Chain A
Amino acid sequence: MALIEVRSLSKSFRARVRASGFGASFHSLFKPQWRVVEAVKEVSFEVGEGEAVAFLGPNGAGKSTTIKMLTGILEPTGGQARVLSLDPSRRRTQLATSIGTVFGQKSQLWFHLPPSDSFALLAAVYELPRELFLKRRDELVDRFGIGPWMDVPVRKLSLGERIRCEVAASLLHAPRILFLDEPTIGLDVVAKRELRSLLEELRKREGTTLFLTSHDVGDIEKVCKRAIIIHHGSVVVDESMKELRHRALSKKRIGVKYGGPVDLELPGLSPVKRTADAASFEIDTRSHNLPELIAALAGRGELLDLTVEDEPLEDIIAEVFRGGNAEEARAAARATARARGGLGDGAGGGIDSGDEGGRAAGSQGVATGKQGGVP
């Protein structure tokens, strides 16, 4: 029984068409024009217990919309989703007790308080009996290595430290599924690495199902075993890492440099880059015989240098994302095999300070500044 079942899930919005120009703006006041935005188009997939799925796509692909439908924040306009056999939009509160969420930009931890206080509050939110809460908390603190930061106000923690506490907090109630939306965004290399190994360990030790969206290649490689790529609202790739890697490994880039000008016309293959005495080729080892090719190239002239590389993953992914529509993207994916996000660092850099759970620094009392006749 799959933990997450998504069938033909769709979401469209009505967005107002912004009129430009004075006449048109005026007109739009009385007769507003609407256009339909199809953010998610008939997406289907299943996620089983203990899986770690990477949900990838460029900005505007429909990732966040999908994850919001899975967690019950948004109501689908078509199809259905079942998470832990519950309809998320109808049974959100009930579902909330069994899922955890780490949404990069939005924090569950109170900004001005140390994480330990937020943990205590979460214990009340999730109705954890005291002993269970303490045990679980100590376990998580130990496992995540966040002991030294538990009593430091969140606002004083670095991004990496905060995310670790954030993830730990999301696990307090031992959820069966953990949804993470861009968890490594803004983190430095070391912090990313640590977080990834923590997530990997989490999956192994507790069998928590992970569903994570990302732009980052590394997230996918290290943590997830399966990638679902969404573009223009549709799924373009849904494969296990093994398959993807296998396919990607078939893509190679060969660079050659010669002592002098050389004729490099080869049957069925033309160079990607070409100067008089050097060239690079992109080949697919399933359609070209690599040893033969290398031998042929070596025989063309005085070979000074030969490099054989895997196609950079970012390039492959970019190819998929560049697809003008879902069909193109799927074709690109098929042609180039592995796809991954790599386009910049996406929406909203970094964690928002999280207004909730603070105190109103500037809020005035009953009549201070209000009654004084001084605005």
Chain B
Amino acid sequence: MRAARAAGAPRSLVMRYAKYFMAARLGLHTRLAYRGNAIGRSLTYGLFIFVYSRIWTTVMAGRTELGGYGLSALVWYFIVAELPSFAYGRFFGTVAEDVKSGQIAYLVARPWSFLGYGFAQAMGPALLDIGSFAVEGLLFGLLLLGDCPLRDPAQAGALLLSLLLSGVIQYHFQAGIALTAFWVEENSAFLWIWQKFALVIGTLMPIELLPETARRMALRTPFPWIAWAPGRIAVAWDGGLSPALLAGQAAWALGAILLSRLVYAAGRRRIAAQGG
């Protein structure tokens, strides 16, 4: 490798992307240093699971299925569907902070992709979060329902992949929204709108429970591909649908990346024009 480098060969893939791994590690270490808030969020997550398990229990008291889901499926769905909200809910904040503080002016000059670096740095701790929330969710689910929806390793693997893709979609959309700070200073409202749509479309309940037209329209938005996809993979693991779900997520992930890059590029032009 040294010889190749000396000969002016392009840097190896590992070297090119090493910086992003470093970023992820950095994010992780920062997170580990600030564990205070984690307890509060764990509490909220657990509380939600409890309350919604009670809702579904009450709803399913007189019936066996709703929209194709049984009681156990509904509760496990909720447990999984909430993971992207809890673990990936705060990407907006850091990006928004960078823009508002003007820090971004320095960051764009760095020899790495702003979005790529930000994504790596954010995903480090986010994966840790997903892990810890997942463990908590699993425990709650076992306690409340006594069963576990995960059947085989393939399902677990698919679920993991699905959650990762959710992270990609979440990050890039949130970053894109945050970057609108170039044009609109008070843009938290946009994030809230995003969050509320995400809440109703696929997080609190599966989209199969939405009225028909709403459901069809929902599938054209990114939201179900963040929460409903992993939720469904977790509780309705039939070999047929899951690849389609993952494919849909991958498509939206790409779309999200593209969109965020467009916003970013426009924002960069704006910095250049206005000096930040």
Contacts and interface: CB of A to CB of B under 8 A. Distances in A.
Contacts of B82: 373
Interface string A360-375: 0000000010001111
B90 A375 contact: yes
Interface stretch (B9-17, B107-115, B192-200): B192-200
A374 B195 contact: yes
B89 A375 contact: yes
B230 to A, nearest CB: 15
B199 A375 contact: no
Given A373-B82, A373-B203, A375-B86, A368 B48 contact: no
B41 interface: yes
A375 B85 CA distance: 8
Nearest to A368: B192
Contacts of B195: 372, 374
Contacts of B85: 372-374
Interface string B195-210: 1100100011000000
Contacts of B44: 373, 375
B67 interface: no
Contacts of A372: 85, 195-196, 199
A65 B239 CA distance: 74
Interface string B63-87: 0000000000000000000100110
A372 B85 CA distance: 9
Interface in B13-32: none
Interface residues of A, number: 5
Nearest to B52: A373
B40 A375 contact: yes
A276 B199 CA distance: 87
B40 A373 contact: no
A134 B82 CA distance: 59
Interface in A316-375: 368, 372-375
A362 to B, nearest CB: 10
Nearest to B88: A374
A373 B48 CA distance: 8
A95 B210 CA distance: 66
B41 A375 contact: yes
Contacts of A368: 192
A373 B86 CA distance: 7
Interface in A79-124: none
A40 to B, nearest CB: 36
B244 to A, nearest CB: 26
A361 to B, nearest CB: 13
A373 to B, nearest CB: 5
A368 B44 CA distance: 14
A314 B199 CA distance: 66
A374 B40 CA distance: 12
Interface string B170-191: 0000000000000000000000
Contacts of A373: 44, 48, 82, 85-86, 199, 203-204
A67 B89 CA distance: 49
B226 to A, nearest CB: 12
Nearest to B78: A373
25 contacts: A368-B192, A372-B85, A372-B195, A372-B196, A373-B44, A373-B48, A373-B82, A373-B85, A373-B86, A373-B199, A373-B203, A373-B204, A374-B85, A374-B86, A374-B90, A374-B195, A374-B199, A375-B37, A375-B40, A375-B41, A375-B44, A375-B45, A375-B86, A375-B89, A375-B90
Interface of B: 37, 40-41, 44-45, 48, 82, 85-86, 89-90, 192, 195-196, 199, 203-204
Closest 3 CB pairs of A and B: A375-B41, A374-B89, A373-B85
Interface of A: 368, 372-375
Given A373-B82, A373-B85, A374-B86, 7 more contacts: A373-B86, A373-B203, A374-B85, A374-B90, A375-B37, A375-B44, A375-B86
